[in-house]
Chains A and B, each alone.
Chain A
């Protein structure tokens, strides 16, 4: 991933982004508030290779977001938003975290009417403070995407992201690029069925069970030493693990069913499977139940 050199200056980029919220907020409509609460089960929260080391975890998170919207012309909107998220992992308190970040997005509709395609591009920043302080990080992203209604009931979306994050420990730093494709089928005004497919390339963290040796904590699986990235012992999972920064490619697929609970509220039950392949292979299954509300 030479073309994404780690940006240790990501944090400095957050400051002007946050400052931009003030004039845009003053000139734009809003704020529009929304909130999301989720309960998520992940069967391989350690992101360990198949076999030894896979641990599941259940987490609860809630997010609030305030958005300001400014029309630049008939079909172009500038959206500025500030979001805050709190996440609690019931099994591993080291993964508990608070996240805050701004995002600015330019969205252009090519034409008039609900079937006209939408394009967007933007920048986002995120600061995340983990209970396990080594994982705390600052992230900067370029986001872009496309959406198109094929009919009143079918919508296709593609969301892309290129990002870099700097953590307090080098193992948790990295860069990535991702694309997610979604097809929404609104079966009627209440029920939405969603199909998701994704691709990601870049850095991630894999965890391997560890044992004490004359050289300190080392992975039980000696083949792990073939992994090229940085690694060290972590206490996050209540038992000996070493965390490894790895480069891999991830393919994902999933589906969701989402009933509307009203004009402003929806419930979503979603399943996604992730397969990451580098020198090792890591499989994750994620099931979440979320409720979203726009005030």
Chain B
């Protein structure tokens, strides 16, 4: 019997610098072992030849709560980004994180929260609601401006890369470890990178109710 907590799957991440896009754009394609696209993966590159400054956006990023779920599920941001958590449900939420990269909690509220959380350290941050245990989302805080999140088609384009050497990495909430390798962006020309990654099973807390129980969660 497979372990209930984890099983090993292999996904292939194909990264290619394509001249058909603007020079310096990396297209990352994620697939699971069955060949299906993997959404909500964060692909990012770190420049190896020079330091690159990051500038957080002027406006805060919003992670909403709707139908007692967070939306979006994964939010990549750069260090220093402010995030707000509007509650569009008709029930209160208690948003928290105990992740090392950012610990915080927003007391019970409904509607627009007055709290703005600044994510000032790089790393993954797991969000939860202390009332509804099944609610989970992730903020991935980056120290590079070059990143993108895969969409439903499993692809992400990282644009605006000057020529040079970079380290490409991919992060996903179910990744067992970091995945990455060095790539080179040329003035022109194509390059393809294939990286094997290990995924954990999707272990979210079950939301469906128990028969005879009409409890809050």
Contact = CB atoms under 8 A, between A and B. Distances in A.
9 contacts: A29-B110, A38-B211, A74-B107, A74-B108, A79-B215, A79-B216, A262-B208, A266-B210, A268-B211
Given A29-B91, A189-B204, A266-B208, A74 B130 contact: yes
A113 B126 CA distance: 11
Contacts of A186: 205-206
Nearest to A293: B209
A87 B205 CA distance: 32
A293 B94 CA distance: 24
Interface string B124-135: 000010110100
Interface residues of B, number: 32
B4 A260 contact: no
Interface stretch (A7-15, A45-53, A65-73): A65-73
Given A77-B131, A112-B96, A114-B205, A258 B210 contact: yes
Contact of A192 (B130, B203, B206): B206
Interface string A227-266: 0000000000000000000000000000000101111111
A291 interface: yes
Given A112-B105, A265-B208, A292 B130 contact: no
A292 B210 contact: yes
A189 B128 CA distance: 17
A179 B110 CA distance: 36
Given A69-B91, A109-B130, A189 B202 contact: yes
A75 B94 CA distance: 9
Contact of A260 (B133, B203, B206): B206
A3 to B, nearest CB: 29
Contact of A258 (B133, B205, B211): B211
B90 A36 contact: no
A113 B211 contact: no
